[in-house]
Amino acid sequence: MSTRGPGRLRPPVSDRDHAQGPRDAPVTLVEYGDYECPYCARAHPIVKDLQRRLGRSMCFVFRNFPLTEMHPYAFHAAEAAESVGAHAGESAFWRMHDLMYEHQQDSERSLDDEHLVWYAKQAGADARRVAEDLLDDAFADRVKEDFLSGVRSGVNGTPTFFINGERYDGPWYDVGAFEEVLREAAAGGRVLR
Amino acid sequence: MAEHATPLGAGTQAPDFTLHSTPDQTLSLHELKGQRVVLVFYPADWSPVCGDELALYNEVLPEIRKHHANVLGLSVDGAWCHAAFAKSRNLHFPLLADFEPKGDVAKQYGVYRHGDGVSERALFVLDEDGIIRWSYVSPLGVNPGADGVLDALEAMDRVGASEQTPSNAGVHA
């Protein structure tokens, strides 16, 4: 039988990633997420809370992991976020990211194309360009790249988190425990699992 | 506490089996000879998490098929239960019912949890001759992901290309 450790992030965080916080922060938290996944929506305010608690000590990175067989709108939602980021910049990407999670539970259609384009406009992007990108699958390859990198990193559901490149299998919904693990990683300690 | 058996490791001939894939159809491992097979043992249908192990394999299926491999899911659930589960999750690979005698196939592969009455979360990658080339048992409650399976399939592609005997085909660092 094979012996192997937990998943390792591959490829490592780079300039292609969407990041909040200093890229040279002592701890980097990477989330693989799906905009239609209710668990990711539940994790969203927890990540925000962690960002407040850790401040400049943490860099947060989001990569797409849409589970398309379960979530019909997830792939387009990920493409829309990438489109917004490409046309309107990183801060618009993060506004789009927040809007989709905040509105995910509004209704069954809260992530259909019509809504996505509306959020894109709210986030500060040109709605028409984002709509065109969705029709042209302009960012489909980018989203697939994220997905495959997640598979190769050992993503095992959504959300999956990596702390300084190592998969975190602990309970993300316990914000205090999560914070402690992140602080320990920031201090150079071993990541508790 | 559950009693642990030793899972079959790399280099072992995978035991043949015939199990129900639907209430009125069966599937035998030997029918897949000449193709690679990924056996995904899991404890039970209806796991209450989003993006559970089978959903993940369902999403990764196109990548696995690129390496000429089929995926089979196995649990002790019955065929009707599997049918309802597969339909609800839109699964595109067969779920086999290791139901009668209960867990018999899991026992043969050394991944049955006596006491718990379910199989471990275990993965076996079989080559075209039905030889186990890689196996892995995940810690209880941890979905193993699909990276180990893809790494094993890639290693098999490389060995196939160079026609060398692998010394470490069963080890994923």
| Segment (H or E) for B118 | strand B118-119
Q: Single out the catalytic residue among B1, B3, B25, B50.
A: B50
Mean pLDDT, residues A138-157: 95
B141 pLDDT higher than 80: no
HSE at residue A103, side-chain half, CA atoms within 13 A, is 17
pTM of the model: 0.85
> Any catalytic annotation for residue B81?
no
> What does the alpha-carbon distance between residue A67 and residue A18 come to, in Å, rounded to a whole number?
20
Residue B171 has pLDDT above 50, yes or no: no
What is the predicted pLDDT for the residue at A193? 46
Is residue A171 scored above 50 in pLDDT?
yes
Calculate ∠ Cα B11-B58-B71, nearest 5°: 30
Residues of A in contact with B58 (CB under 8 A): 69
- Phi, psi (deg, nearest 5) at residue A122: -55, -35
> For A50-79, what is each residue's pLDDT tens digit?
999 999 999 999 999 999 988 999 999 999
Question: Torsion over CA of A13, A18, A21 and A27, rounded to 10 degrees?
Answer: -30
Q: Which residue of B has its CA nearest to A148?
A: B60
Dist. CA A92–CA B97, nearest whole Å: 49
Say if the Cβ atoms of B49 and A39 lie within 8 Å.
yes
Residue with tokens 């980018």: A142
pLDDT digits (tens, 9 = 90+) for B14-39: 999 999 999 999 999 999 999 999 99
pLDDT confidence tier of residue B139, bands split at 50, 70 and 90: confident
Compute the average pLDDT of residues A148-155: 94
The reported pLDDT for the residue numbered B50 is 46
pLDDT tens-digit map of B94-133: 999 999 999 999 999 999 999 999 999 999 999 999 999 9
Interface touch B90/A69, C-beta < 8 Å:
yes
DSSP H stretches of helix in A30-159: 38-54, 74-88, 90-103, 113-123, 127-136, 140-153
Q: Which chain B residue shows the shortest CA-CA distance from A159?
A: B51
Q: What's the token pair of residue A30?
A: 């990477």
Contact across the interface for A7 and B145, Cβ inside 8 Å: yes
Interval A87-135: pLDDT, tens: 999 999 999 999 999 999 999 999 999 999 999 999 999 999 999 999 9
Tell me what the pLDDT averaged over chain A comes to: 93
Nearest C-alpha in A relative to B7: A1
Bridge partners (DSSP) of residue B73 are: B40, B95
Q: How far is B52 from chain A (nearest CA, A)?
A: 6
Q: For chain A, how are helix, strand and coil distributed in percent, rounded to 5?
A: 50, 15, 35
Of residues B7, B133, B120, the one with CA closest to residue B67: B133
Amino acid A118: pLDDT: 98
DSSP state of A190: P
